[in-house]
Chains A and B, each alone.
Chain A
Amino acid sequence: MPQPLNYLKETASQTAGPYVHIGLIPAMAGFDIFEKNFSNVLVTPNTQGERITLEGRVLDGSGTPLRDVLLEIWQANAAGRYNHPADRSAGALEQEFRGWGRAGSDFDSALVTFETIKPGAITDKAGRKCAPHVNVWIVARGINIGLNTRLYFSDEEAANAADPVLNLIEQPARRKTLIATRSERAGKVVYSFTINLQGPEETVFFDV
C-alpha cells in the first residue's frame, strides 16, 4: 500500500429546491427578516463604468421559462479588476463595487434582471486579453448541482473572436449561446440573454 494522501472529499451538492428564496432572497418568499439584504443591484452612485441591465430567462427542455430559478453573477469592474485579493492585475480596484449579485426569476414574467456595469476586459495569467464577461451560476429545483456559464457582450465582436474561452468551444454555433444582445430601451442599455438548459440551442455550461 502506498502512503495515503488523506485529502478530504468535497461535500456533495443538493438541489436548492423551490423555496431557495427563503434563505437567499427572503423578500421574494414574502417576508422581511434581515436588516441587510443582498440583491440584483451591483452598482452604487459612485460605481465607475457604463450602466447596464442584464435581462434574461432560463428555459427548460420544453422551452418553458423557469419561474423558480436563482442566478448569481460575479464580474470584474469597469477596469477589468475583480474585487478579490487573488486578482493582482493592474486595473484600479473599487472597494465599493463588490462585483457580485443575485436575483430570482420573477414568478410571473420569469425574467431575471441585474443592474450593473459593463465589466472591462480581463488579462489572464498568460497575459492574454479575455473579452469582457460576467460569470453566472444557476440553481433551482431540479438542478442537482449549480450550473456555471458566462455572458459575453454582442458589441465586443473583435474581443469575443479572440477570447480564449469562447475559442475552446468546438462548435462555433454554440459560442453564440453565451452572447447577450445589446439594445437600448428608454435611454437605458439592456443586454438580453436566454439560457437554454436543453435542446438544440443548449447553452454552453462549464466544469470550472
Chain B
Amino acid sequence: MNAQAPALRDPRLNRPEPFTPPLGDGGFFQRDRSIHPPAHAPGYKSSVLRSPRQALLSLENSVSEITGPVFGHNDLGPLDNDLIRNYAKDGDPVGERIIVHGRVLDETGRGVPNTLVEFWQANAGGRYRHKKDTYLAPIDPNFGGCGRALTDDTGYYYFRTVKPGPYPWRNYVNSWRPAHIHFSVFGSGFAQRLITQMYFEGDPLIPVCPILTTIRDKDALDRLVAPLDLNASTPFDSLAYRFDIVLRGQRSTYFENRTEGN
C-alpha cells in the first residue's frame, strides 16, 4: 500500500496509564448494557421479531468465555487492508479516497494486540456488492467493499478505502442510512466479540437514522462517529478518519503471574 499512515501520537493527553485490576478470576468486566442498543428497539423494525424477550442469563466467565480464536498474519493476504486495490480490475474505484485508522483498546486503556479487525461497506454511490442488494446505484467494477487487518502490538490498525455513500432502506418509506463502515472485532476472549458501525463526522443523517438511534446513551453514540484526522491524511492523496474501538476490560487471575497481555 503506497498510502501508509504515518506513526501517530496519541491525542488523548489525559488518558491514564493502563491499569488492570490484578485480583480477579480472569473474567471480563461486566458488560454495561446501558450503552448498547436494546435488543427490542421498535424504531428499527427488523428488531421487533428478532429480539429475545426473556432475561439473558448472566454467566460468570469460565474458560469458554475468556478464551477465543487466535489469528495471525498467515490468515491474511497482502492487500487485505487496501480496499482501493484489493478488488481493482482496470483502475481505482470511484470515490473520495480515505484512510481509516485507530486503536483497538480494552476498557483499561490498554491496546489489544494481534487481534483481527474486519470491515465492509457500500461503494461511493451507496451500493453493496451483494447479491441481495438491489439499490439502483451502480456496482463499481473496481470495488469489492471488504477488508481486514491484524492490530499491531499496540493495538493499532489502519486501512485504505473510498468513503461509502448513504443509501435508502426499507424501514420507514424514506429511511436512509448515514455513510458507515461495518466493523467486526475479536479481542482475546470470545466474550469480547463485537460488531459495530463507524460513522463520519458531520453527516446530517446521523441524528435521524433508526439504527443509530437505537443507542440511547448520547456519549456512546458519539463514540461511533469518527472525526476527520487531518494530521494523518496523505497530502494530495487521501483524507483520514480516526476510529478507536474499545472492547471489554479483563481482570487478571488470582495468585498467578500476570497472563499475557495483562
Give the docked Cα–Cα distance between A84 and B41 (Å): 36
Interface size class of B (residues with CB under 8 A): 35 or more
Please give the distance in Å from B77's CB to the nearest CB on chain A.
Answer: 4
Please give the distance in Å from B190's CB to the nearest CB on chain A.
Answer: 5
Please give the distance in Å from A100's CB to the nearest CB on chain B.
Answer: 4
Asked whether A19 lies within 8 Å of B133 as measured between CB atoms, the reply is: yes
In the complex, chain B residues whose CB is within 8 Å of the CB of A142: 44, 46-51
Asked whether A84 lies within 8 Å of B68 as measured between CB atoms, the reply is: yes
Please give the distance in Å from B17's CB to the nearest CB on chain A.
Answer: 10
Give the docked Cα–Cα distance between A15 and B247 (Å): 16
In the complex, chain A residues whose CB is within 8 Å of the CB of B153: none
For the residues of B in contact with A, the DSSP-based class is: loop
Give the docked Cα–Cα distance between A53 and B75 (Å): 24
In the complex, chain A residues whose CB is within 8 Å of the CB of B63: 82, 86-87, 89, 122, 124-125
Interface size class of A (residues with CB under 8 A): 35 or more
For the residues of A in contact with B, the DSSP-based class is: loop
Please tell me which stretch of B3-11, B93-101, B213-221, B230-238 contacts chain A, meaning at least 4 of its Cβ atoms lie within 8 angstroms of it: B213-221
B196 touches which of A6, A13, A85, A125 (Cβ 8 Å) = A13
A186 interfacial contact with B, CB 8 Å: no
In the complex, chain A residues whose CB is within 8 Å of the CB of B196: 11-14
Asked whether B36 lies within 8 Å of A145 as measured between CB atoms, the reply is: yes
Asked whether B37 lies within 8 Å of A33 as measured between CB atoms, the reply is: no
Q: Which B residues have a C-beta under 8 Å from some C-beta of A? A: 15-16, 25-26, 28-29, 31-33, 35-39, 41, 44, 46-54, 56-59, 61-70, 74-77, 80, 86-87, 105-109, 118-120, 128-133, 144-146, 148, 182, 184, 188-191, 193-197, 211-212, 214-215, 217, 219-221, 223-224, 245-249, 259-260
Nearest 10 interchain pairs by C-beta:
A23-B120, A142-B46, A100-B69, A84-B67, A142-B50, A35-B77, A207-B56, A30-B131, A144-B37, A61-B49
Q: Which A residues have a C-beta under 8 Å from some C-beta of B? A: 6-24, 26, 29-31, 33-36, 38, 60-62, 64, 66, 68, 72, 74, 76, 82-87, 89, 98-100, 107, 122, 124-125, 130, 133, 135, 137, 139-148, 150, 165, 168-169, 174, 197-198, 202-208
